[in-house]
């Protein structure tokens, strides 16, 4: 299924693991381009900073290089604070522990509330490769780091 391009104003990345950024870009010929070129891609400042500090080979091995770098190249990323207010009734909430800069999305409308949790909790059922990848890529989850 092909996403409808041009219809999104914001794309929010709760964090930059590959299973949360895969549709950020699409292959066009021999390169990747933003899936929604007119949208702003919101990434928290700590998450983006941590991603940029990873060595390119490590980023490529986790499959996020082609899902994040083309956005930076196109200038469509906004690095936002952990408590960013997106619009009336929609704001970010810091949910540390899974990755540096991980956020949930708090939504409130017409007396109803919802929380999009991203990967708020990390469970062994996520798989041994994820557990290993997380400890390698996320300084906050390494033993001895805070």
Q: For Zn ion, give the closer residue by CB, 17 or 84.
A: 17
**Pick from 11, 119, 137, 138: which binds Zn ion (CB under 5 A)?**
119
Q: How far is the CB of 81 from Zn ion (least distance, A)?
A: 20
Q: How far is the CB of 143 from Zn ion (least distance, A)?
A: 19
> 108-116 long-range CB contacts below 8 Å, 24 or more apart?
116/14
Residue nearest to Zn ion (CB): 17
Site string for Zn ion, 7-46 (x = CB under 5 A): ----------x-----------------------------
**Nearest C-alpha neighbor of 70 from the set 26, 38, 40:** 26
End-to-end CA distance of the chain: 41
- Pairwise CA distance, residues 124 & 121, whole Å: 10
Q: How far is the CB of 106 from Zn ion (least distance, A)?
A: 19
The alpha carbon of 120 is separated from its chain's Cα centroid by a whole number of angstroms, namely: 13
Under the criterion CB under 5 A, does residue 47 sit at the interface with Zn ion?
no
Q: How many residues bind Zn ion (CB under 5 A)?
A: 2
DSSP 141: G
Q: For Zn ion, give the closer residue by CB, 19 or 73.
A: 19
SS3 91: strand
Q: How far is the CB of 62 from Zn ion (least distance, A)?
A: 10
- Pairwise CA distance, residues 89 & 67, whole Å: 28
- Residue numbers of the site for Zn ion (CB under 5 A)? 17, 119
């Amino acid at each position: 299924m092909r996403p409808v391009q041009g219809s999104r104003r914001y794309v929010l990345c709760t964090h930059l693991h590959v299973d949360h950024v895969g549709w950020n870009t699409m292959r066009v010929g021999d390169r990747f381009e933003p899936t929604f070129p007119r949208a702003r891609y919101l990434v928290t400042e700590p998450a983006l900073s941590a991603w940029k500090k990873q060595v390119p080979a490590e980023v490529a091995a986790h499959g996020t290089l082609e899902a994040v770098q083309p956005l930076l190249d196109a200038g469509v990323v906004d690095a936002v604070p952990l408590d960013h207010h997106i619009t009336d009734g929609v704001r970010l909430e810091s949910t540390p522990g899974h990755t540096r800069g991980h956020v949930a999305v708090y939504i409130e409308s017409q007396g109803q509330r919802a929380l999009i949790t991203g990967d708020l909790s990390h469970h062994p059922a996520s798989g041994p490769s994820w557990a290993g990848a997380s400890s390698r890529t996320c300084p906050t989850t390494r033993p001895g780091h805070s």
